[in-house]
Structure 1
Amino acid sequence: MEEPTMEKRHSTKESAKFQIADELGGIELLDAQYETQNFSRHSHEGYTVGVIERGAQCFFRTGSNHVAPQNSIILVNADEVHTGHSAVEGGWAYKAMYPLPEQFKSIAQALGTNRYGAPYFPEAVVYDPELANQFRLVFETLEKSNNRLLRETLVYASLVKLMSRHGKTPPKPTETSKTQQQLIRVKAFLDDFPQADVSLTELANLAEISPFHLVRAFQKQFGFPPHAYQIQARLRYAKTLLKAGHSISDTAQECGFHDQSHLHRHFKKAMGITPRQYMNS
């Protein structure tokens, strides 16, 4: 079997094309090539399913660093903290989709396997040439074809195969401790009021623990300290507003960013595209 390779190429101009396909109620897609892009610690509401087309990517997921070489598939679970940067000289190119847990659940339900809901992908990088080529066909079809039946069939088939080959039963949730309940309370506040100018002391009072304990426990539980999680919540809110047609400047102000450039910087580091690219998709 052909093994994945890590090629060194000459510098390539960075580019990123973002779109939202209509299938399954809307799936975000990204076709990008990067050299200097360094994704900050971030998470997505959806899963990340990406195929490395050139070069190699290094990224953090589930407590350790991973390298995804050419022809491999990247898998990141929904809401899982991860990063991303080039692993080789000359950068990397990849195509990715970001299906939501609800979309996987609907597929599992249709298959009669909805007992455990959305899948969990334990492996950050998998080498499955057949599936990688199938996803390449999906990406190409979603970009070039308007045949709804073909598009929906290919998306459905590829995600079914991904679940059956590499998906596992999600870890069973353990009983929630008092501290976890306190942390969930803080997380819920940041999710519901991302624009709020709230202090660490106020969040600690909400959780009924000390500020120092809150920072350490929150990061251990959710992968971010509270201030970094607030940025993630603001970015999710910004995506909602931009998708609804709000201007970038109004979105920045409404989400609690200092200004438009502040939103632009965080959006690009987490999403790999600018707010305007997202708005125009």
Structure 2
Amino acid sequence: MPMTDRRHWNDPALPFVEARRACHSRACYKAHSHPTFSIGAVDSGVSHFSGAGPGSKRLTAGTLVLVPAQRVHACNPEPGGAWSYQMLHLDAEWLLRLRHERGIAVQGAGTAALVTRDAALYRQFCQLTALLFSEASVLEKEIALVDFIGDHDERAFAALPMAPAEDAAALNLEEGLQGLADERLAHLSLEDLARWAGLGRYALIRACRRATGMTPHAWLLNARINRARVLLRQGGDLAEVAYRLGFADQSHFQRVFKVHAGTTPGAYRAGR
């Protein structure tokens, strides 16, 4: 059954897309990345978007930001403030195939995030997310999604500041992590990571910061949370997911998940 609570939507019949929305949220996120291409829209309030580059970008209502897969970023309300927003996460391989059908290049992993205040595009995005959260048929939803993505070439949007080009060793490491078993991912050491990347420990730390803006520990924690998202979408038991991914206990897992995903693991999984 599709997930249909007020905050999250995903449907096993459309495994390449997931939607999220938040109203008057004060939740703050740590810097993180997704294996998905993400589109966010600010509905009200003010948010500050930061990536692995210098400074931040102030986003106001009606702004859309497009974040390529693996681009480290954070988007948080102004201090003391609240904001409302919508998010769409698209499987990177699915998006790449769709763009190839249209003859349009897609922003690759690690490239700059993009921003636009096109009012018509914002309205179309809101209509799309409303349809995804509705009781419309799977076919209607897929048609609307493909139509929306196919109508727009994001290369026309303004690029946000970003870090220097990603380091090849860290990119290779990222690909390797995606294929690891859950238990192995949970217990990697700095020495393991360095050996895998073919670097010394200090060189790995520098490479990881150049590539992601994060330390190896923060980057690995982010990878574990992304794996947890997959397991929770499959209906995984919270305690079992926490154990498999090496968290001290379910409470620890919940705290870490919330600062990365803006919601609790239970709420994320709810409605399956």
**CA distance in structure 1 between the partners assigned to 2:97 and 2:198 by the alignment:** 39
Please tell me whether residue 59 in structure 1 is matched to residue 49 in structure 2. Answer: yes
CA RMSD of aligned residues (A): 2.8
Q: What corresponds to 1:93 in structure 2? A: 84
Normalising by the residue count of structure 2, what TM-score does the alignment of the two structures yield? 0.82
Say if 1:259 and 1:21 are closer, same or farther in 2 by CA, change over 3 A: same
Unaligned runs of 5+ in 2: 159-165
Q: What corresponds to 1:140 in structure 2? A: 130
* Residue 21 of structure 1, CA deviation: 4.2
**CA distance in structure 1 between the partners assigned to 2:113 and 2:175 by the alignment:** 29
* Residue 110 of structure 1, CA deviation: 2.7
Say if 1:131 and 1:255 are closer, same or farther in 2 by CA, change over 3 A: same
Count of residue pairs the alignment pairs up: 255
Say if 1:238 and 1:186 are closer, same or farther in 2 by CA, change over 3 A: same
Q: One-letter code of the match for 1:156?
A: V
CA displacement, residues 234-257 of structure 1 (integer Å, 9 cap, x when unaligned): 112212222233210111010111
Please tell me whether residue 119 in structure 1 is matched to residue 97 in structure 2. Answer: no
**CA distance in structure 2 between the partners assigned to 1:17 and 1:52 by the alignment:** 15
| Contact in 1 for aligned 2:6/2:21 (Cα 8 Å) | yes
Q: Which has the larger radius of gyration?
A: 1
* Residue 143 of structure 1, CA deviation: 1.6
Q: One-letter code of the match for 1:160?
A: G
Q: What SS class does the counterpart of residue 203 from structure 1 fall into? A: helix
Q: One-letter code of the match for 2:41?
A: V
Normalising by the residue count of structure 1, what TM-score does the alignment of the two structures yield? 0.79
**CA distance in structure 2 between the partners assigned to 1:20 and 1:222 by the alignment:** 28
Work out which structure has the larger RCO, using CA pairs closer than 8 Å and 6 or more positions apart in sequence. 2
Say if 1:128 and 1:165 are closer, same or farther in 2 by CA, change over 3 A: farther
Q: What corresponds to 1:83 in structure 2? A: 74
Q: What corresponds to 2:163 in structure 1? A: none
* Residue 186 of structure 1, CA deviation: 4.2
Q: What SS class does the counterpart of residue 185 from structure 2 fall into? A: coil
**Structure 1 counterpart of 2:60, from 22, 44, 69:** 69
* Residue 162 of structure 1, CA deviation: 3.1
Q: One-letter code of the match for 1:245?
A: G
Say if 1:136 and 1:22 are closer, same or farther in 2 by CA, change over 3 A: farther
1:255-270 matched pairs, under 5 angstroms: 255-270=245-260
Q: What SS class does the counterpart of residue 47 from structure 1 fall into? A: strand
Please tell me whether residue 216 in structure 1 is matched to residue 225 in structure 2. Answer: no
**CA distance in structure 2 between the partners assigned to 1:94 and 1:39 by the alignment:** 14
Q: Aligned residues: percent identity?
A: 24
